[in-house]
């Protein structure tokens, strides 16, 4: 049987030891420490009792205080840190958005890790253990991952419900755009196809990802297409599916100029979908350009509205845009003249044209471009009584918010590189990225901080991991919340 011994010294300090009797002799098993006041003595006695319990499984008849909350430096080892605060904070946001209803801890943990340190799925499982002490078996991922794809529609419904409740989304305005994600291979399949690449990787197979966001930039739906799909062919099926699924009556979609075509305009009108899209003025007829040149006032903020087969064409003028357009045009003209004067460097440029075997300046195109300097165009079917020109222009300019969402997704969450080569894992990867994007965008909108800055600040609140060498038990001590974190918690309504 183990016992506790107290040795008092003249200095009023007390040494605490654990001993046992062997062959009628006292054998010191462990010197616990020396106390210089009553509190230290109480702590050392608690440590002694836990040590006895550990080495002998010997329980006392009386309740004793746990030594796991007592830090005694000489009997403690530092073994590292966990970022549990960050994990808990993101978990609360996941619950706020409603993603916890997917009821899959491994999937949600991968979403959290995607926000903190994007990596392959198997590497992410290792980091979950390293950063948070969460143990997931690789086999669990292989077994359950194929079942997660059915969660796409459910995840989008959670996003839509949250957007309606917290961002007052009422289906009146939806922003639409697409991007491409390429693969480090040259082999195509049914999904990964060569096509026009926004990453300048046209020789490598890719996929096309469409994203829909609210006017604040909060994502509510996405879709995946084969990499050789023309982006203008995606908007109609995606938007019509969204309207049908959510039984929407009034709807306006905002998209860039790549989405505009006579077929798309016709389909949008037939489906009674309002639209605001960018216009490529360089593709207009000379007659229409002449009307614009004659009608528009070259003053900042001035605009005109012209009825065309694609709906109303709204054109606005900006002196800043004029200077930018003029500079770029003159630079292109200089390049064209250089090529004309140096036939050995013969190549096709914007303002050159062929005349037999010779290259000459395309003066008609130069004149047409000069008439459009400083002018930006937009197409819409909305009557001026419903949305005046300024409103249309302002709504289109908000399209940058979807570009921000893509930036978060492709840069901060690193959709690329993709470590998968089959359709099912690729779509699963995009599901995880979309869920991470939901949480990340909500953080940015509420805190006015980038997700990278948010992660950086939250990582400062660590849980120090300490081992009690007497009992082998782990003690964790969390850093105090600093003013930056308190401000973040207040803006996220998570300060309790």
Least confident of 5-19, 104-118, 290-304, 448-462: 5-19
Over residues 227-236, the pLDDT tens digits come to: 677 677 778 8
Over residues 386-397, the pLDDT tens digits come to: 889 999 998 888
Mean of all residue pLDDT scores within the chain: 83
Over residues 371-381, the pLDDT tens digits come to: 999 999 999 99
Average of per-residue pLDDT across 463-475: 81
3-state secondary structure at position 239: helix
Assess contact for 380 and 279: CB atoms under 8 A: no
Residue 96's CB is within 10 A of a number of other CB atoms, namely: 16
Average of per-residue pLDDT across 45-56: 77
Least confident of 279-288, 313-322, 422-431: 422-431
| Best CA proximity match to 96, nearest among 159, 44, 157 | 159
Contacts of 107 (CB under 8 A, 6+ apart): 144, 148, 151, 432, 435
Give the Cα separation of 360 and 337 in Å (integer).
Answer: 8
Higher pLDDT among residues 239 and 410, named by residue: 239
Least confident of 132-141, 174-183, 360-369, 388-397: 174-183
Tokens of 403: 């570009």
Q: CA Rg, the chain, in Å?
A: 33
Assess contact for 402 and 175: CB atoms under 8 A: yes
Average of per-residue pLDDT across 148-153: 90
Higher pLDDT among residues 414 and 296, named by residue: 296
E strand residue ranges, 24-125: 25-35, 76-82
Best-predicted range by mean pLDDT among 50-54, 74-78, 395-399, 433-437? 433-437
Per DSSP, what are the bridge partners of residue 213?
175, 219
E strand residue ranges, 12-146: 14-22, 25-35, 76-82
**pLDDT tier at 145, thresholds 50, 70, 90:** confident
For the chain, helix, strand, coil in percent to 5 are 45, 20, 30
Tokens of 341: 């004067």
Average of per-residue pLDDT across 445-472: 89
Element (H, E) at 278: strand 274-279
pLDDT on residue 98: 95
pLDDT on residue 410: 56
Q: Count of alpha carbons within 13 Å of 200, Cβ hemisphere only? A: 0
pLDDT over 90 percentage in the chain: 39
Give the Cα separation of 282 and 288 in Å (integer).
Answer: 11
Tokens of 419: 């470590």
Helix locations, 167-255, DSSP H: 235-246
Higher pLDDT among residues 159 and 67, named by residue: 159
Distances (CA, A) of 212 to 215, 222, 239, 242: 10, 6, 9, 10
Over residues 165-202, the pLDDT tens digits come to: 999 888 878 888 787 775 544 444 445 455 444 444 55
Higher pLDDT among residues 232 and 78, named by residue: 78
Residue 62 pLDDT greater than 70, yes or no: no
DSSP code at position 17:
E
Average of per-residue pLDDT across 359-374: 92
Over residues 238-284, the pLDDT tens digits come to: 888 888 888 887 778 888 877 777 788 888 888 788 889 888 898 89
pLDDT on residue 182: 54
Contacts of 354 (CB under 8 A, 6+ apart): none
Sheet strands side by side (includes 25-35): 2-8, 14-22, 25-35
Backbone φ/ψ region at 391: left (φ over 0), alpha (ψ -120 to 50), beta? alpha
3-state secondary structure at position 148: helix
pLDDT on residue 89: 96
Residue 66 pLDDT greater than 70, yes or no: no
Assess contact for 485 and 461: CB atoms under 8 A: yes
The angle that helices 84-97 and 121-132 make with each other, rounded to 10 degrees, is 120
Average of per-residue pLDDT across 144-160: 91
φ, ψ for residue 102 (rounded to 5)? -70, -20
Residue 232's CB is within 10 A of a number of other CB atoms, namely: 16
The sign of the CA dihedral 378, 384, 386, 390 is: positive
pLDDT on residue 365: 93
Average of per-residue pLDDT across 142-148: 87
**pTM score of the predicted model:** 0.73
**pLDDT tier at 405, thresholds 50, 70, 90:** low
The owner of tokens 């082999």 is 187
Tokens of 286: 């000379």
Higher pLDDT among residues 146 and 81, named by residue: 81
Average of per-residue pLDDT across 8-21: 84
Tokens of 436: 């991470």
Cis amide leading into 417 (omega within 30): yes
Average of per-residue pLDDT across 6-11: 83
pLDDT on residue 268: 82
pLDDT on residue 190: 47
Residue 94 pLDDT greater than 90, yes or no: yes
Tokens of 128: 């979950």
Assess contact for 379 and 275: CB atoms under 8 A: yes
């Amino acid at each position: 049987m183990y016992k506790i011994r107290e040795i008092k010294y003249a200095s009023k300090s007390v040494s605490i030891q654990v001993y046992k009797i062997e062959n009628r002799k006292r054998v010191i098993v462990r010197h616990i420490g020396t106390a210089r006041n009553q509190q230290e003595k109480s702590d050392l006695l608690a440590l002694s009792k836990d040590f006895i319990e550990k080495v002998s499984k010997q329980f006392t008849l009386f309740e004793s205080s746990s030594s796991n909350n007592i830090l005694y430096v000489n009997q403690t080892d530092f073994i590292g840190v966990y970022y549990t605060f960050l994990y808990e904070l993101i978990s609360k946001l996941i619950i706020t958005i409603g993603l916890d209803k997917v009821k899959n801890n491994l999937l949600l943990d991968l979403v959290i890790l995607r926000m903190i340190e994007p990596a392959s799925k198997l590497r992410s499982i290792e980091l979950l253990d390293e950063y948070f002490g969460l143990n997931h078996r690789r086999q669990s991922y292989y077994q359950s991952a194929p079942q997660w794809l059915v969660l796409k529609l459910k995840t989008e419904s959670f996003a839509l419900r949250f957007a309606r409740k917290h961002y007052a989304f009422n289906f009146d305005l939806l922003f639409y755009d697409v991007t491409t994600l390429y693969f480090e291979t040259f082999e195509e399949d049914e999904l990964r196809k060569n096509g026009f690449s926004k990453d300048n990787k046209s020789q490598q197979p890719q996929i096309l990802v469409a994203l829909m966001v609210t006017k604040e930039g909060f994502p509510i739906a996405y879709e995946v297409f084969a990499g050789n799909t023309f982006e203008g062919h995606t908007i109609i099926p995606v938007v019509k599916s969204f309207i049908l699924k959510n039984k929407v009556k009034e709807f306006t979609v905002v998209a860039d100029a790549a989405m505009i075509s006579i077929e798309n305009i016709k389909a949008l009108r037939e489906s009674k979908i309002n639209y605001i899209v960018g216009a490529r003025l360089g593709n207009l007829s000379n007659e229409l350009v002449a009307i614009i040149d004659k009608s528009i006032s070259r003053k900042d903020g001035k605009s005109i509205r012209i009825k065309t087969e694609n709906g109303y064409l709204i054109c606005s003028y900006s002196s800043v845009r004029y200077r930018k357009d003029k500079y770029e045009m003159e630079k292109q003209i200089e390049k064209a003249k250089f090529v004309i004067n140096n036939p050995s460097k013969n190549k096709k440029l914007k303002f050159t044209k062929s005349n037999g075997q010779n290259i000459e300046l395309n003066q008609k195109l130069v004149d047409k471009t000069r008439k459009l300097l400083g002018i930006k165009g937009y197409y819409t079917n909305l009557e001026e009584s419903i949305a005046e020109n300024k409103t249309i222009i302002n709504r289109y300019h908000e399209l940058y918010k979807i570009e921000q969402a893509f930036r978060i997704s492709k840069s901060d969450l690193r959709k690329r590189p993709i470590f998968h080569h089959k359709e099912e894992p690729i779509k699963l990867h995009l599901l995880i990225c979309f869920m991470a994007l939901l949480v990340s965008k909500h953080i940015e909108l509420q805190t006015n901080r980038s997700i990278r800055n948010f992660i950086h600040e939250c990582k400062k609140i660590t849980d120090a991991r300490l081992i009690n060498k007497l009992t082998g038990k782990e003690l964790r001590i969390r850093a105090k919340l600093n003013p930056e974190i308190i401000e973040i918690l207040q803006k996220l309504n998570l300060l309790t």
